[in-house]
Amino acid sequence: MKHKTCLYTIIEHEFMQRMEAKGISIPYYTFQNQLMSLVRSHAQKHSIEDFIALWAGQSAGKSARGTSHQIITGLIGMIV
């Protein structure tokens, strides 16, 4: 599930599911980004992916689907 705020889409993970279960609405990016800076910092240091911000820009719908290998191979093919 994706939540839309402004021009961005928030990719759902455990943190988002917990927020939704509590009935807490997600603030717009700039506010959410400031409020969550300490949580993100801790999550990044300890590789806790479910608490790292995952945002997709306004062209996220144009992104390619595939395995990491397929996407990287495709990107390499575009520049070689």
pLDDT tens digits, residue range 6-62?
A: 444 556 677 778 888 888 877 776 787 788 888 889 988 998 887 877 666 667 677
Q: Spell out the domain ranges in the chain.
A: 2-79
Residue 65, pLDDT > 50, answer yes
74 vs 59: which has the higher pLDDT? 74
Rounded CA separation 58/40 (Å):
22
pLDDT higher for 19 or 73? 73
Residue 39 β-bridge partners: none
Q: Give first-to-last CA distance, the chain, whole Å.
A: 36
Given a cut of 80, whether residue 69 has pLDDT beyond it is yes
Give me the pLDDT at residue 58, please. 67
